[in-house]
Amino acid sequence: MKRPFDATVKTEAELKALQLEGLKWTVNHAYNGSPHYRKKLDEAGVKPKDIQSLDDIKKLPFTTSKDLQEGYPFPLLSVPMEKVIRIHASSGTIGKRKVLCYTAKDVDDWANMFARCYAYADCTVEDRIQIAVGYGVWTAGWGFQNGCERFGAMSIPIGPGNIDMQCQFLEDFGTTVMTCTASMGLLMAEEIDKRGLRGKIALKKLIFGSERSSDAMRKRISELSGVAYDQLFDIPGMTELYGPGTDLDCRYHTGIHYWADYYILEILNPETLEPVPEGEVGEMVVTTLRKEAAPLIRYRTRDLTRLIPGECPCGSLMPRHDRIMGRSDDMFIFRAVNIYPSHIDEILSKIKEVGSEFQIILSRDQKSGKDNMLVKVERAHELKPSDELDKQVRKKIEDAIKKQIMVSCEVEIVDYGSLPRSERKTKRVFDNRD
């Protein structure tokens, strides 16, 4: 099936040829345009002419968030300043904030990539897209907005929060697609349910940006909002790599297609920095193929995922990676075990007696010096509080965590709706040790 804004290449060989051409261009461009990259490449003993095959990517040095910090305020800049038409920044404290420059072509390429995301989510130009993500220096609002305009659907740029106005717009403007974080998606679904809007509004798709959604959370959002489960889509994406819009799961939800005609994705073992065997989990490392202002050469994203082998039923040539399984930044160490919140999330999502919201609280016993982990989780919406049932569910979760993560923890079941929901990313780990 030919989708608007899809890649121009038609075969694997054509895609590889395009990638090689882009890789050569990028190394040459960065070497000649950025003193920072030139120094790094010289130190690694690599010249642009050394890149003759895709395999030669292994010769290239890695770029990390440290390179971004050192180059603050305009890191990795590889074009003259007058070619820059916009900057975006990630949230974070000063000094840690990642700032990226964009040329006119970068903004244009990004809009095309994002338009492709709307196409893969089966949107049409008839759609009315309510964009409820943050506008400002962050990439979210601009990304969704420019992509929507490029795609040709009607955009409703409302931004996050303001639930009353969101609901009113859903009713008055006949919104068919809403884009927001998954946390806000849950908040909206609860509101749609509470206000009895289901069946009265035309909403048929939700596209979540910047925060992964668990299966349990998606199921709950679908039930409450009336939006079919397979019409919930995830757009990951990061500021360093344009912003959201560089990948999306199609309606088959067999993985997240990424736009391999714009960047190369390597999955490497974060310890050895060697490729992991196909299908195994590792760190995503990206190299851009056309990015002008701040190209990325083997940028270590710290995001963990795996490549999904084979072809998607949708027939797209664009390869797939799995959902993001956590970040090394999110990881915490508890009794010498590396734990990702997403792993706890995954375990909880298989237990039907609990909801999708949870918190992990870490504490240290002053006397014994022993660390404790408490997992607070909400009782499922439809269940009545019962001490007996809570006790059974607690045991079930404790056993599952013990079995799958090999650590002992305590579980507390709290009432549905009692854990905080936020319109942005919800904080789930509270480390009170020390």
Q: Which of 192, 196, 199 lies closest to 178 in space, CA to CA?
A: 192
Give the nearest distance from C-beta 205 to Zn ion in angstroms: 16
> Per residue, what are the HEC states of 82-110?
HHEEEEEECCCCCCCCCEEEEEHHHHHHH
Give the nearest distance from C-beta 26 to Zn ion in angstroms: 27
When the beta carbons of 80 and 310 are compared against Zn ion, the nearer one is: 310
When the beta carbons of 160 and 319 are compared against Zn ion, the nearer one is: 319
Q: Are strands 177-180 and 154-157 parallel, antiparallel or unpaired?
A: unpaired
When the beta carbons of 2 and 384 are compared against Zn ion, the nearer one is: 2
Q: Which amino acid is located at 18 in the chain?
A: L
When the beta carbons of 33 and 255 are compared against Zn ion, the nearer one is: 255
Q: For residues 293 and 104, give the distance between their C-alpha atoms in angstroms, rounded to a whole number.
A: 9
218 phi and psi, to 5 degrees? -65, -40
308 contacts Zn ion (rule: CB under 5 A): no
Q: Where are the beta strands (DSSP E) in 323-393?
A: 332-334, 337-339, 354-364, 371-379
When the beta carbons of 229 and 252 are compared against Zn ion, the nearer one is: 252
248 contacts Zn ion (rule: CB under 5 A): no
3-state helix, strand, coil in the chain (%, to 5): 35, 25, 45
Give the nearest distance from C-beta 326 to Zn ion in angstroms: 24
Q: Which stretch binds Zn ion (CB under 5 A): 83-91, 105-113, 244-252, 285-293?
A: 244-252
Give the nearest distance from C-beta 406 to Zn ion in angstroms: 35
Q: Which stretch binds Zn ion (CB under 5 A): 43-51, 98-106, 224-232, 246-254?
A: 246-254
When the beta carbons of 260 and 312 are compared against Zn ion, the nearer one is: 312
The 10 Å Cβ neighbour count of residue 35 is 10
Q: For residues 420 and 414, give the distance between their C-alpha atoms in angstroms, rounded to a whole number.
A: 12
Identify the residue among 9, 107, 308, 314 touching Zn ion (CB under 5 A): 314
Q: For residues 32 and 365, give the distance between their C-alpha atoms in angstroms, rounded to a whole number.
A: 56
Give the nearest distance from C-beta 120 to Zn ion in angstroms: 7
Find how far residue 123's CA is from the centre of its chain. 20
Q: Are strands 332-334 and 263-268 parallel, antiparallel or unpaired?
A: unpaired
When the beta carbons of 91 and 316 are compared against Zn ion, the nearer one is: 316
The 10 Å Cβ neighbour count of residue 264 is 20
318 contacts Zn ion (rule: CB under 5 A): no
Q: Which stretch binds Zn ion (CB under 5 A): 189-197, 222-230, 304-312, 406-414?
A: 304-312
Q: Where are the beta strands (DSSP E) in 367-409?
A: 371-379
CB 3 within 8 A of CB 150: no
296 contacts Zn ion (rule: CB under 5 A): no
Give the nearest distance from C-beta 19 to Zn ion in angstroms: 20
Give the nearest distance from C-beta 324 to Zn ion in angstroms: 18
Q: For residues 399 and 361, give the distance between their C-alpha atoms in angstroms, rounded to a whole number.
A: 18
The 10 Å Cβ neighbour count of residue 343 is 16
Q: For residues 425 and 258, give the distance between their C-alpha atoms in angstroms, rounded to a whole number.
A: 23
Give the nearest distance from C-beta 250 to Zn ion in angstroms: 3
When the beta carbons of 28 and 316 are compared against Zn ion, the nearer one is: 316
Distances from the Cα of 244 to the Cαs of 51, 111, 278, 287, in angstroms?
29, 10, 25, 16
When the beta carbons of 189 and 307 are compared against Zn ion, the nearer one is: 307
312 contacts Zn ion (rule: CB under 5 A): yes
Q: Which stretch binds Zn ion (CB under 5 A): 194-202, 248-256, 328-336, 403-411?
A: 248-256
When the beta carbons of 73 and 309 are compared against Zn ion, the nearer one is: 309
Give the nearest distance from C-beta 316 to Zn ion in angstroms: 5
CB 50 within 8 A of CB 56: yes
7 contacts Zn ion (rule: CB under 5 A): no
Q: Which stretch binds Zn ion (CB under 5 A): 100-108, 183-191, 231-239, 251-259?
A: 251-259
293 contacts Zn ion (rule: CB under 5 A): no
Identify the residue among 18, 224, 235, 250 touching Zn ion (CB under 5 A): 250
Q: Which stretch binds Zn ion (CB under 5 A): 33-41, 245-253, 264-272, 411-419?
A: 245-253
Beta-bridge partners for 238: 243
Interface residue list for Zn ion (CB under 5 A): 250, 252, 312, 314, 316
